Amino acid sequence: MTRRYRDSEVVDFVVVGSGAAGGVMARELSQAGFGVVVLEQGPRFTPADFAHDELKYYFDHGITNGPAKSPQTFRRTPQDVAKRSESGGWQPLTYARMVGGSSNHFTANFWRFHDVDFHERSLLGAIPGAALEDWPISYADLEPYYGKVEWEIGVSGLAGTHPNEPPRTRPYPMPPMPVKSSGVLLERGARRLGLHPFPAPLAIASQPYRGRAACVHCGFCMGFGCEVRAKSSTLYTMIPEAEATGRCEVRTESYVFRLATNARGRVSGVHYFDPAGHEHVQKARAVVVCANGAETPRLLLTSASPAFPDGLANSSGLVGKHLMFNQNSSSFGVFEHELNEFKSVQATRVVHDFYDSDPKRGLYGGGGIDARIGPNPAGWALAGPPGRQWGKAYKDHLRTFPRTMLAAGHSTSLAVEANSVSLDPELKDAWGMPAIRCTYKDHPDDLRFAAWLQDRCGEILEAAGALQVWRLPVTESSVAVHLLGTCRMGNDPARSVIDAHHRTHDIPNLFLCDGSSFVTSGRGQPTMTIQALAFRAADHIADFAKRNEI
């Protein structure tokens, strides 16, 4: 059934990347009647290829971009010399490199953005040291597409459960996942403090859904691929539906390293390496880059040519700028009885009472709190609490594992122009292409708000009856999996890279859609919005193509 195209054939669309956004784009464009070639850097896994192997997935880059083939460098500020990462072996910008991309190994927390996320600049005014801007679209523009994500991708949850829930036109298609002990305790503690906890929306099937099995609560969501197809990754949802149209080919282990342009300044296709390292050119009427917030700007920058000396679609000079990560802060609570948080999904209850930025706090920032497992056994042991990390007392700490939960804070990152993805001037990847150089220093308000939210996490745990609450210090970010903001959307071509329809301001048949499109960071769970943007972008792009406007 799967269609195969020849390189020399001019297909309607090349989609670069098959992840959260690329999978949606491929499915929507092929269902709209267009021929689509998806070029994916990584391999294609089946459920049997995934494993409960913490060593492989967390320490061996089992499914993520590893430093052996794709090294990166990191620096705090543009004045520093970037160095290869020493941050625990994770790449500064980490993503799953395989069909379905990071929708395979994500935790599957699927919070919609709220209305405020789209117009905080107007609401709050300028923030010193940040490039805070309004989005050119509103929550109302995206609302139908959030519903589409919930029903087409498959999200479990419960509507109408808290006062600041963003408006919706449809309920969730599946009930929420069964509550865990951490969820019960978060709910108990939060309600004692007058807060409004609610069941976590998750892109995980709580019951059989569209031919996929329900979750079996194995406990290996965060960082792992799903072995029963219950997690709603595009590997299991969008990609097979795209291929079923007979118009979409997913070409794996195909690494796009340059966009091809013609004399008219338009994109004519993509250059890529096949698994053997041989170079090919796939021709296309239009290209949609959904390679993620790290690789999308990198590809535009490696596509520089005499006609585009600063890279493609970069007349604003903002390609790669405004990188945002989302801050995180957690408090650990130890309880009297067993919670066994290693079972089932990460989070079953969420608090959004601190979602909005409140000027009364004296700083910018907003976030959500969820109750979760946190780390797997080796990660748990390595992270340890403050104090001596070995010996008898340390072993006693290790044994609190089944009685411990995290209240985890997920919060904002402000856009700062100096925070960026750029090309390292010296380091090359295994294919000889310039490596990613990451520059990142959290805005002071990001760190201050994370610490503020960590205090709220601790209060909830104490109100829930924790015997002991401990925490690790909030630190500056040096590793991220939320890769946001690097080709921001906007109406002004001088201050943004793409327009409100995801078309690059500079090149009419080049579109970008993934985390790079974000103008603000949201509150720490970006994939839901990445996919809503992708459904919306695909609608517009299909319309443009039908009207011959690509």
| Residue 196 binding other proteins, by CB under 8 A | yes
Strand-pair category, 327-334 with 279-289: unpaired
152 lies in the site for other proteins, by CB under 8 A: no
Which position among 278, 360, 399, 547 is part of the footprint of other proteins (CB under 8 A)?
399
With beta carbons less than 8 A apart as the criterion, state whether 385 and 430 touch: no
Residue 379 neighbours by CB under 8 Å, 6+ apart: 54, 58
| C-alpha span between 264 and 522 (Å, rounded) | 38
Q: Cβ closer to other proteins: 77 or 389?
A: 389
Is residue 172 a contact point for other proteins (CB under 8 A)? no
Residues contacting residue 251 through CB under 8 Å, at least 6 positions apart: 37, 38, 39, 40
For the stretch 496-521, what's the b/e string if a residue is b when 16 or more beta carbons lie within 10 angstroms of its beta carbon? bbbbbbbbbbbbbbbbbbbbbbbbbb
Residue in 9, 338, 455, 492 binding other proteins, rule: CB under 8 A: 338
Nearest in space to 105 (alpha carbons), one of 277, 252, 224:
224
Does residue number 428 form part of the binding site for other proteins (CB under 8 A)? no
The answer to whether the CB of 303 falls within 8 A of the CB of 259 is yes
CA distance 243 to 162: 39
The least distance separating other proteins from the CB of residue 185, rounded to whole angstroms, comes to: 6
According to DSSP, the residues that pair with 212 across neighbouring strands are 209
Rule CB under 8 A: choose which of 2, 49, 307, 343 binds other proteins. 343
Q: Indicate the residue among 185 and 347 with the shorter CB distance to other proteins.
A: 185
- Contact region for other proteins (CB under 8 A) — 25-33, 158-166, 301-309, 519-527? 158-166
Interaction of residue 168 with other proteins, rule CB under 8 A = no
Amino acid identity of 459? Answer: E
Judged by CB under 8 A, the stretch of 383-391, 449-457, 485-493, 499-507 that binds other proteins is 383-391
CB of 388 to other proteins, least distance (A): 7
Torsion sign, CA atoms 527, 533, 539, 540: negative
Task: Give the nearest distance from C-beta 374 to other proteins in angstroms.
Answer: 13
Closest CB 20 distance from other proteins, rounded Å = 25
The reply to whether 341 sits near other proteins by the rule CB under 8 A is: yes
In this structure, how many other beta carbons lie within 10 angstroms of the beta carbon of residue 1?
7
For other proteins, the closer CB: 125 or 160? 160
Q: Which region among 373-381, 419-427, 467-475, 529-537 touches other proteins (by CB under 8 A)? A: 373-381
Question: Contacts with other proteins in 205-234 (CB under 8 A)?
Answer: 216-219, 227
Under rule CB under 8 A, residue 387 binds other proteins: no
Q: How far is CA 63 from CA 16, 44, 378, 421, 432, in A?
A: 18, 11, 18, 22, 21
392 sits near other proteins (criterion: CB under 8 A) = yes
- Residue closer to other proteins, measured from CB, 27 or 97: 97
Nearer to other proteins, 85 or 412 (CB): 85
* Per CB under 8 A, 66 contacts other proteins: yes
Q: Which is nearer to other proteins, 4 or 390 (CB)?
A: 390
- CA 167 – CA 183 distance, rounded (Å): 24
Helical H segments across 362-511, by residue range: 377-383, 392-398, 444-463
Q: Which is nearer to other proteins, 369 or 513 (CB)?
A: 369
171 binds other proteins (CB under 8 A): no
Binding characters for other proteins, 487-526, by CB under 8 A (x = yes): ----------------------------------------
Q: Which of 18, 30, 72, 85 binds other proteins (CB under 8 A)?
A: 85
Q: Does 188 bind other proteins (CB under 8 A)?
A: yes
Measured CA to CA, the distance from residue 445 to residue 128 in angstroms comes to: 10
Read out DSSP for 118-164?
A: G-HHHHH---TT------SS-HHHHHHHHHHIIIIII-B--SS-STT
| Token pair of 339 as six digits | 């919670």
Give residues in contact with other proteins (CB under 8 A): 52-56, 59-61, 66-68, 85-90, 158, 160-163, 176, 178-181, 183-185, 187-188, 191-192, 194-196, 198-199, 216-219, 227, 335, 337-344, 377-378, 380-382, 388-392, 394-395, 398-399, 401-402, 465
